[in-house]
A and B are shown apart, each in its own frame.
Chain A
Amino acid sequence: MEAFLHQVFSGLANGAIYASLALALVMIYQSTHHINFAQGELAMFSTYLAWAMINAGISYWMAFALTVIASFFIGLTIERVIVRRVADAPILTLVVVFIALLVILNSITGWIFTYTIKVFPSPFPEQPLFGPYISSHEAGVVGVSLVVLLLLFLFFRYTSLGLAMRATAENAVSSRLAGIRVGWMLALGWGLAASIGAIAGMMVAPIVYLDPNMMAGILLYGIAAALMGGIDSPFGAVVGGLIVGVLENLMGAYVVGTELKLTVALMLIIGVLIFKPTGLFGRHFVTRV
């Protein structure tokens, strides 16, 4: 029982990270119908920035904040400079651009920071503070993710800018006709997604260690989570993330063994796409003719 509970809790902690990444994917998908395959590598690059700052003697939370801000501008710039130019191109062009971004970010990071695996610090204490089933870092990850979620919810629900971004995601033409600068809203979406990804990266790095390939698996889990929840539903992304996290851990511990954990995620992706493409909370698109 104890082992089981431990698996569930650490699954929730992993799930919170997948949920964050899924949320970043959904944010871009909602407004552009692009799945940003480079989301994970972007997060990885941000985490290296944080590592460099911490190594330079900046305190953890200061580095955390600076990384979130820097990532925002990196995401924004990538949208403005690269993605915008191919936004109307055929889907295959976009996929190639996103995969190219993924490889470029990966190799640039490797070139700057080398491929040696590094230890990334956790801001949370070593000794478990919340009982025997969950480590402080895991509890901290869940806490940080909840704060991020809450902030995003408040932003989208109660601010004008949040409303403008929601409007843009739903109907870009109508938003233009209301005078909203749609291009900037899309860029902001990229910035926010990159910030959320950066947080996910910094939270997962103490668990998986820092190396340029650290996000490859995490991104797959994130995509599985987003698809499971319904690729256009932010709420679904969060629920999907938690389900994938727990399921992955339990399957790994009791059914398929740890080597096949990632396979579980891939099977989930294929299963959802075949049997329920809209996911748990996705919208069915009905058009009245």
Chain B
Amino acid sequence: MPLLEVSGLTGGYGMTDILHDVSFSVEQGGITTILGANGAGKTSVLRALCGMLRVSDGSMQFAEQKLNGRATESIVRLGIGHVPDGRGTFLNLTTEENLRVGAMTRKDKPGIAQDFDRVYGYFPRLKERRHQQAGTLSGGEQQMLAIARALMLRPRLLLLDEPSFGLAPLVVQDIFRIMRTINDEQKVAILLVEQNASLALELANLAYLLETGKVVMSGPARELREAESVRRSYLGY
């Protein structure tokens, strides 16, 4: 039984459907990546999961719970941490306040203190800047903060929307390395949406290729990496 099972998802904004019959899954503790060009509907998939997109058909099942029709807040409270596109940083709050917002739904003080230590361990730069206004952080630091904020929720599933977007290659590698660690140590499952196919395929165990709102290829990440068409269109060799 996968942690997240989406089948036949169709939906969009207003009258227009953007996603058509999209099916995929994320295993317990696994990493799934959804690849695709700009406008393929990757972000829309994540929005649909979090109740921020009109869903007209299909089902979304997370840990035996149906996600369809639930409010965003309630979905998040089931244990889904969403790192949105644009990072969603609270620019006027300090780094530490951003993290406190991330832990807002939790009551276990010792657990929260533990998680503060943990995320500061993953991202020492955030610890150095914990009293700084988040708006003054660099792009890479803000991306780290966004991931850290989602981790403060103690999620079972982390949704990541293009964490590599607009960042220098070294920073991107750093972030991907930490994502691997988080997945290993905390058994947090990850659904990663990316344009950077080579990094994403290296990290993931399951991969899906999205084109104009449809899944055109799926399978173990290893296989997609070797597929001729993926290599030519998305990996560039």
Contacts and interface: CB of A to CB of B under 8 A. Distances in A.
B73 A182 contact: yes
Interface residues of B, number: 24
Contact of B88 (A164, A177, A180, A182): A177
B73 A179 contact: yes
B156 to A, nearest CB: 14
Interface in B51-106: 52, 72-73, 76-77, 81-82, 84, 88-93, 97, 100-102, 104-105
Contacts of B92: 166, 170
Interface residues of A, number: 17
A170 B73 contact: no
Interface in A147-190: 160, 163-164, 166-167, 170-171, 173-182
B72 A177 contact: yes
A164 B72 contact: no
- Label chain A's interface by main secondary structure: helix
Contacts of A180: 73, 101, 104-105
B75 to A, nearest CB: 9
Contacts of B105: 178-180
Contacts of B88: 171, 173-174, 177
Contacts, number: 63
Nearest to B87: A174
A167 B84 contact: no
B50 interface: yes
Contact of B82 (A160, A163, A167, A177): A177
B90 A174 contact: yes
B149 interface: yes
A170 B101 CA distance: 12
Interface centre among A163, A171, A173, A177 (most CB of B within 10 A): A177
B153 interface: yes
Contacts of B150: 177
Contact of A174 (B77, B84, B97, B153): B84
Contacts of B97: 163, 166-167
Given A171-B88, A177-B84, A177-B88, A164 B73 contact: no
Interface centre among B50, B72, B149, B153 (most CB of A within 10 A): B72
B144 to A, nearest CB: 16
A160 B77 CA distance: 17
Nearest to B103: A178
A65 to B, nearest CB: 29
A167 B84 CA distance: 16
A75 B226 CA distance: 61
Interface centre among A163, A173, A176, A182 (most CB of B within 10 A): A176
Interface in B22-68: 50, 52
B76 A177 contact: yes
Interface string B146-162: 00011001000000000
A167 B100 CA distance: 10
Contacts of B101: 163-164, 167, 174-175, 178, 180
A178 B93 contact: no
A147 B170 CA distance: 51
A163 B100 contact: yes
Contacts of A178: 76, 101-102, 104-105, 149, 153
B100 A160 contact: yes
A276 B231 CA distance: 55
Interface centre among B50, B82, B101, B104 (most CB of A within 10 A): B101
Given A163-B101, A164-B104, A181 B93 contact: no
Interface of A: 160, 163-164, 166-167, 170-171, 173-182
Interface of B: 50, 52, 72-73, 76-77, 81-82, 84, 88-93, 97, 100-102, 104-105, 149-150, 153
21 contacts: A160-B100, A160-B104, A166-B97, A167-B93, A167-B104, A171-B90, A173-B52, A173-B84, A173-B88, A174-B84, A176-B73, A176-B76, A177-B72, A177-B84, A177-B150, A178-B76, A178-B101, A178-B102, A178-B104, A178-B153, A179-B104
Given A174-B89, A179-B153, A180-B101, 4 more contacts: A170-B91, A173-B84, A177-B72, A178-B153
